[in-house]
Amino acid sequence: MIDARVCLLCIIILSSSLTLDAIRSPGRSLNSIKSAVFLSPPFFLSPGSVANKYFFDIPFPRGHIALKSFDAEVVDEAGIPVPLHETYLHHWVVEGYYGSKTSKDPIEASPLEFDFFDYDLVRNSGICKRTLGQYFGLGSETRRTNTWVPDPYGIEVGNPEQIPDGFEFRWLMNVHAIDTRGVDDKNGCTECKCSLYNVTKDEFGRPLRKGYIGGLKCCYDHTQCPVQEGFGGARRKLWLRYKVNWLDWDDTIVPVKIYIFDVTYTASAVDGALPGCKVEYQVEPCDLSDRSNDECIYTKKAKMVIPRGGDIVYGVAHQHSGGIGSALYGQDGRVLCASMPTYGDGKEAGNEKGYIVGMSTCYPKPSSVKVSDGEVLTLVSNYSSSEMHTGVMGLFYILVAETQIEEQVEVFQSLPVSMRDDAA
């Protein structure tokens, strides 16, 4: 019976695409998908060194468009993908901003210089206030994590009605990479242990708070992790290569909002720390004498309110090495999306042993996973605590459509175009 129904559906799809070509049904954009591959400005790394770069006005599709995917990886001068055990990609993020038409942005600027030029970030829809405003962003898992926004949805950018006079929509990129060729302690370097980097102050010269033993404050641009005596290793010129798929905007595309949840979120000030998202946290090693946790799993949870509801059309988590899964729950405890890491088991780029090389994604059937305005969501992030981990993250990224689509549109839902396997 099910087969017959599926087949009926096939006929509907076939006949509608043959005979109703000119009808602008929702989800069937008359535009064809556009695709382009870009290179970031180059960055340089030698064994043990760190690059944390902020590039402004990066090459990107212009105009009023719907973004459909963003896939990135680190490549060398020959365009060859560089494996994580050589260049660890801690993270990259891409964020929109309004740049003044009369000023040209620097290609690159350090956080110490940000106040000196005229730009206004275009943040995602929430829920972190100062951090995590990006549209896209991943880390070591970037090669095998699907970013495709399913039809009929798209991330709308560059709507001329929203751009302030005298400004234009531009993009900035932050790339944070650590060269671990020949280092003494690969895990320590990638987890940014302050003692290894010999760092006691952050990049603004502020002393680290007591108990801060690892994380982004200790592996800023130009810091150095110790390398084995006598290890050579040339300075390398590297790029983030990224492929963007998009459509020219039209009214058949259903816009989605981007929300990023962070498991370190706190609604109120605790211990002198401001409310909001702290981005990273520490996984304490398990106490093997504690029988209740003989699996050694460190579970962190946070509750956050989603301001506006709608249909969840995509979801994915971000975790670092040691991560063993993450899930987002609704107020009644239903699972909205669970996202699990895939670890590599080889040497080649995209399958590096011991690293998270992909995160599974959620593509709910249209209109099947809904959240309501003001719903309290719970984010859970699990790490293995058989050893300590510093500077880990537990983020969850979802796309929410506030406009409902009709049931029939289901037949037009596209599959991810990515060539990669969606790590299940």
Ligand X SMILES: *[C@@H]1O[C@H](CO)[C@@H](O)[C@H](O)[C@H]1NC(C)=O
Residues that bind ligand X (CB under 6 A): 198, 297, 299, 325-327, 338, 380, 382
User: What is the smallest separation between the CB atom of 79 and ligand X, expressed in angstroms?
Assistant: 35
Toward ligand X, which CB reaches closer, 29 or 360?
360
Toward ligand X, which CB reaches closer, 124 or 264?
264
User: What is the smallest separation between the CB atom of 382 and ligand X, expressed in angstroms?
Assistant: 4
User: What is the smallest separation between the CB atom of 293 and ligand X, expressed in angstroms?
Assistant: 9
Going by the DSSP 8-state scheme, the letter that residue 16 receives in this structure is: H
User: What is the smallest separation between the CB atom of 198 and ligand X, expressed in angstroms?
Assistant: 4
Toward ligand X, which CB reaches closer, 58 or 337?
337
Cα separation, 67 vs 58, whole angstroms: 16
User: What is the smallest separation between the CB atom of 415 and ligand X, expressed in angstroms?
Assistant: 25
User: What is the smallest separation between the CB atom of 224 and ligand X, expressed in angstroms?
Assistant: 8
Give the number of residues written for the chain: 424
Cα separation, 137 vs 318, whole angstroms: 9
Token pair of 384 as six digits? 């293995």
Answer yes or no: are the C-beta atoms of 256 and 400 closer than 8 Å.
yes
Toward ligand X, which CB reaches closer, 243 or 303?
303
Toward ligand X, which CB reaches closer, 67 or 218?
218
Token pair of 142 as six digits? 């970037």
Going by the DSSP 8-state scheme, the letter that residue 223 receives in this structure is: -
Cα distances (Å, whole numbers) of residue 134 to 358, 396, 402: 19, 12, 20
Toward ligand X, which CB reaches closer, 216 or 297?
297
Answer yes or no: are the C-beta atoms of 31 and 247 closer than 8 Å.
yes
Toward ligand X, which CB reaches closer, 60 or 197?
197
User: What is the smallest separation between the CB atom of 96 and ligand X, expressed in angstroms?
Assistant: 31
Cα separation, 180 vs 123, whole angstroms: 32
User: What is the smallest separation between the CB atom of 193 and ligand X, expressed in angstroms?
Assistant: 13
Beta carbons within 8 Å of 200's beta carbon, 6+ residues apart = 194, 207, 208
Toward ligand X, which CB reaches closer, 215 or 325?
325
Q: Is 126 left (phi over 0), alpha (psi -120 to 50) or beta?
A: left
User: What is the smallest separation between the CB atom of 232 and ligand X, expressed in angstroms?
Assistant: 20
Toward ligand X, which CB reaches closer, 151 or 202?
202
Burial environment of residue 243 by CB neighbours within 10 A (0 to 12, 13 to 18, 19 or more): middle
User: What is the smallest separation between the CB atom of 29 and ligand X, expressed in angstroms?
Assistant: 35
Nearest residue to ligand X, scored by beta-carbon proximity: 325
207-218 b/e (C-beta count within 10 Å ≥ 16 → b): eeeeebbbbbbb
Toward ligand X, which CB reaches closer, 74 or 194?
194
Answer yes or no: are the C-beta atoms of 318 and 135 closer than 8 Å.
no
Using CA atoms in the order 346, 350, 355, 359, what is the torsion angle rounded to 10 degrees? -130
DSSP secondary structure letters along 120-175: EEE--S-B-SSS---SEEE-GGGGG---PPPTTEEEEE--TTTSPTTEEEEEEEEE
